[in-house]
Amino acid sequence: MDYPQFPKDFVFGTATAAFQIEGGWNEDGKGPSIWDTFTHEPGAVKTGDNAEVACNTYHDYQTDIDLMAQLGLNAYRFSIAWSRVLPQGKGQINTQGLDYYDRVVDALLAKHITPFVTLFHWDMPQALEDSIGGFAGRDCAYHFADYAEVMAKRLGDRVKNWITLNEPWEHACFGHLLGNHAPDHHNPWTYFRVAHHQLLGHGLALQRIRSISPDARVGTTLSMSPILPATNKPKDVQAALIGDQFFNGFFFDAIFKGRYPDPLWSRVRLVQPKVQPDDLRLISQPIDFLGLNYYSREFGRYAWYVPFLQFWSDGNMEFDHEQVIDGMPYTASGREIYPEGLYDCLLRITRDYNNPTIYITENGAAFTDVVENDRVHDPLRVMYLDGYMTAAQRAILAGVNLKGYFIWTLMDNFEWQEGYGKRFGLIHVDHQTQRRIIKDSGYWVREMIQHQTTNEFVR
């Protein structure tokens, strides 16, 4: 079998997020996060599940790290639960929380697995939500930098790769505009504030980490989806352009160009956050790498009335990502399997944003997995990973500065508002017993890593 090939020193990892795996939600001094609150609201999670236990990683991280080693992975992206370390989001430090991450980092290094630490993967401390509306409040960016400092001081001697944010668009949009994520707000006036203040928090945290740990490499993780017009009607083409700026350009232009893109920015005058003179300079300080999360492409379509978007799009647009295209394969979460989209994004970032160092920090898929005789045969996930990794290989050959690939995700986990209903892992988890079974896709990844013939990789 041919496996996708990557250059020497390529980073092969999996990615996880604290809330989705840790459990231990109220143990050893941890404060509640907005996701604890949200998942305890009846009806918020489709399956009625909560993440009080999740994958029990807070108690048994060693099992997961041993499994990573067994799969031959050389890196691991995980996130810190802000309120485990700072129960109120600021002020008093919970040393038991810090000790936990300390142990995780040491256990990874003992297995020669390089940690990539994400500081904010959506689980805002509830105390900061209550006092200032989370990132809707500008002060949150400063509290975030203080938190980054705490983490850099404690882990910076061993952690050299930091990711400030995970997908700021998703947190702002799902959490504050659509309300299908915590903190469950539907507020077009705070959407852009949350987006801007996350980016400001990124800039401030980056400075702070570098001041403490000069050899740290600091980046941030953005999602990108190609946004295509649903038809070639001029109004749909325009809708897709604005949609692209909303999903992608807003964050990429801010980080790499120090500005918010027009025409989107001027159209949202009514709901613009206050941008202070130095903000965009802070946001656009050079990063050491970009983390790219890639899942799928979307389609933009003109609509005469979309309630939550009317403030900023002249009321003239919607996004149609439910659109099913005949003949295309889909994942169990309804995402089209289209590796070319990843290739296109990688080339676009390289072209439009000055050829940054990129890590794919998430890519993966949910499928309906079945355990049969202690095995999980998941040929669709193998096909998925092979397709996307081959697209990544092609992108490198076309000049993209791609240095690593983190598969979403290590093991089946708590998939936000989907509960335990969507399985994305390379490892199957029985959420009653916590028993783990490596899926065929996990074995495929191990083989793929073992079959790297890097000396033959020609750029």
Give contact residues for ligand BGP (rule: CB under 6 A): 17, 166-167, 170, 293, 295, 333, 335, 362, 408, 415-416
Least Å from the CB of residue 418 to ligand BGP? 7
For β-strands 298-301 and 358-362, DSSP reports them as unpaired
Burial of 437 (0-12, 13-18, 19+ CB in 10 A): middle
| Minimal distance, residue 389 CB to ligand BGP, in Å | 17
Dihedral pair phi/psi, residue 15, rounded to 5°:
-120, 145
CB of 455 to ligand BGP, least distance (A): 35
Of 223, 221, 226, which is closest to residue 338 (Cα–Cα)?
A: 226
In angstroms, give the least distance from the CB of 223 to ligand BGP: 6
Q: Supply 63's token pair.
A: 């099992």
Full DSSP string of 177-223: II-SSTT----HHHHHHHHHHHHHHHHHHHHHHHHH-TT-EEEEEEE
Could you please report the per-residue DSSP string of 38-61? Answer: HHTSTTSSTT----SSTT-HHHHH
Helices (H), strands (E): how many in the chain? 16, 15
State how far the Cα of 76 lies from the Cα of 408, in Å rounded to an integer: 11
Which residue type occupies 455? N
Show which residues are catalytic. Answer: 167, 362
Q: Which CB, 50 or 94, lies closer to ligand BGP?
A: 50
Q: CB of 80: closest distance to ligand BGP in angstroms?
A: 14
DSSP code at position 399: T
Select 14 or 166, whichever has its Cβ closest to ligand BGP.
Answer: 166
Q: What is the 3-state secondary structure (H, E, C) of 217-252?
A: EEEEEEECCCEEECCCCHHHHHHHHHHHHHHHHHHH
Task: Give the Cα separation of 386 and 232 in Å (integer).
Answer: 32
Question: What minimum distance in Å lies between the beta carbon of 45 and ligand BGP?
Answer: 13
Work out how close the CB of 3 gets to ligand BGP at its nearest, in angstroms, rounded to a whole number. Answer: 24
- Select 265 or 289, whichever has its Cβ closest to ligand BGP: 289
Residue 76's DSSP bridge partners are 14, 115
Tokens describing residue 336: 């089209």
Tokens 């199957």 identify what position?
428
Measured CA to CA in angstroms, residue 338 lies from 54, 192, 230, 329 at distances of: 30, 30, 16, 8
Q: What's the chain's length in residues?
A: 459
Terminal CA-to-CA distance of the chain, rounded, Å?
22
